[in-house]
Amino acid sequence: MRVLSGIQPTGRFHWGNYFGAIRQYIDLQHEEASYYFIADLHALTTVHEPARLRQLTIDAAIDLVALGLDPTKAVLFAQSDVPEVSELCWLLMTVAPMGLLERCHAYKDKVAKGLPAGAGLFTYPVLMAADILAYDSDVVPVGEDQVQHIEVCRDLAGAFNARFGQEVFRLPKAKVLDHSAKVPGTDGEKMSKSYNNVLELFEPPAQLRKKIMRITTDSRPIEEPKDPESDHLFQLYRLVATDAEREEMAATYRRGNFGYGQVKKALADAADRFFAEARARREALAADPAKVQAMLRDGAARARAAAGAVLQRAQQASGLR
Ligand code: ADP
Ligand code: TRP
């Protein structure tokens, strides 16, 4: 079984990205083969400062490895280092119905808001289909919001196979990541960089602690017993606490007579400990840019070998070459 997923380098990774997605990709790297890439071509639809895009791409690679992705096991690369994907994207474009793309939410939502949308955003799902099909992927782990794009990918692969009467592309399946893992932000809403409520994975510890101490809480009296499950501070704490700490904190909530300041301090301490190892690995990697570049080059070479074979199949089937 071959697993593939991509993540856009549109900002530094936050707890939502890690607990909602990255952690689960990393767990899947033990499957037969896994491909993980940094979707810098997709990010070009939103990030328009070249130096920033370059830095975010490198940071994403360093973060993923620091968090446990093993680049000797999984194939880790930058999307734009595999030009075969862009060629495949064109071939898929020739079987993509306009109506299908018009229904895709990224484009549709923007148009509905009266915002200008470019052809890059319109054809975004076709590039994503090329990403997936280029490596004969079987399983694509994604958040709920990307499931529609996997359906489009299956449609395009099926349409191409049908047009040329050959099984050129293997049809992938989405693996929807655990929905209960929705991580709240510092304001209690879903954590997202668009809401400015994120706890970044690798912000300096003192800054992170300050942000945690400022998390919004309610003003119920201290002595009132509280339900831990419905409190966003507890939802964050449970992600980084040990089982014993989590149980103890839940009991404290149910008993009442505690202040949120005490929970925040416990959260900051647990977070420090939870990410300490990754933080140390990150620092070591960041200090060795040549190693990171070599890692991405090696990943790209392995990815190109796989994508080249698939592209050749598609070219031959369609009368090119
Ligand atoms: P953002 O909302 O900050 O722009 P992205 O859309 O780039 O984040 O998300 C990348 C991945 O992280 C997606 O697979 C998404 O499902 C996951 N993710 C983002 N925020 C959260 C969250 N608050 N809880 C759980 N998963 C999340
Ligand atoms: N569109 C995805 C996102 O925004 C990122 C992505 C690009 C992707 N290509 C992919 C995910 C291929 C899975 C497979 O999260």
Give the CATH number of the domain where residue 72 resides: 3.40.50.620
* Beta-bridge partner residues of 3: 34, 139
Q: Is 110 a catalytic residue?
A: yes
Mean pLDDT across the chain, nearest whole number?
Answer: 96
CA of 320 relative to ligand 1 center, distance in Å: 39
Per-residue pLDDT band for 179 (boundaries 50, 70, 90) equals low
CA dihedral 122, 127, 132, 134 (to 10 degrees): 150
Please tell me whether residues 123 and 243 are part of one structural domain: no
Ligand 1 close to Cβ of residue 20 (< 6 A): yes
Res. 163: pLDDT tops 80: yes
3-state secondary structure of 38: strand
Measured distance CA(133)–CA(124) in Å, rounded: 14
CATH of residue 252's domain is: 1.10.240.10
Residue 180 predicted with pLDDT over 60: no
Residues whose CB falls within 8 Å of the CB of residue 282, separated by 6 or more in sequence, listed in order: 62, 63, 66, 202
Residue 5 has pLDDT above 80, yes or no: yes
Question: What confidence tens digit (pLDDT) does each residue in 240-254 have?
Answer: 999 999 999 999 999
User: Is residue 187, in this structure, part of any structural domain at all?
Assistant: no
60 DSSP 8-state letter: H
Same domain flag for 252 and 297:
no
Q: Average pLDDT in the 105-132 region?
A: 94
Say if residue 23 is in the same domain as residue 92: yes
pLDDT band at 270 (very low <50, low <70, confident <90, very high): very high
Residue 214 structural domain: 203-274
What confidence score (pLDDT) does residue 216 get? 97
Q: Determine the Cα–Cα distance for residues 296 and 300; give it in Å rounded to an integer.
A: 6
Residue nearest to atom 6 of ligand 1 (CA): 192
- Residues 13, 90: one domain? yes
CA distance 294 to 49: 24
- CB of 190 sitting under 6 A from ligand 1: yes
Same domain for 119 and 255, yes or no, is: no
pLDDT value at residue 193: 92
Q: Is the pLDDT of residue 31 over 90?
A: no
Other C-beta atoms lying within 10 Å of the C-beta of residue 272: 14
Q: State the pLDDT confidence band at 145, using cuts at 50, 70 and 90.
A: confident
Question: Residue 192 burial by CB count (10 A; 0-12/13-18/19+): exposed, middle or buried?
Answer: middle
Determine which one of 108, 110, 175, 265 is catalytic: 110
Q: Are residues 72 and 101 in the same domain?
A: yes
Residues with a CB atom less than 6 Å from ligand 2: 4-8, 39, 42, 128, 131-132, 140, 142, 146
Q: Is the pLDDT of residue 85 over 90?
A: yes
Ligand located closest to 174 CA: 2
Task: Provide the pLDDT for residue 181.
Answer: 67
Dist. CA 44 → ligand 2 center (Å)? 13
CA of 41 to the centre of ligand 2 (A): 10
Asked if 40 and 84 sit in the same domain, the reply is: yes
pLDDT at 136 over 60: yes
Question: What ligand has the least distance to the C-alpha of 137?
Answer: 2
CB 104 within 8 A of CB 124: yes
pLDDT for 182? 87
Q: Are strands 33-38 and 75-78 parallel, antiparallel or unpaired?
A: parallel
The mean pLDDT value for 152-166 works out to 98
For residue 193, the ligand closest to its alpha carbon is: 1
The percent of residues above 70 in pLDDT, for the chain, comes to 99
Q: What is the pLDDT of residue 144?
A: 85
Query: Distance from the CA of 257 to the center of ligand 2, in angstroms?
Result: 45
Residue 225 lies in a domain: yes
- Which one of 108, 193, 265, 291 is the catalytic residue? 193
Cα 181 to ligand 1 centre (Å) = 11
In a domain, 254, yes or no: yes
Which member of 108, 182, 190, 291 is catalytic? 190
Domain identity same for 50 and 135:
yes
Number of domains in the chain: 2
Question: In this predicted model, which residue has the larger pLDDT, 21 or 86?
Answer: 86
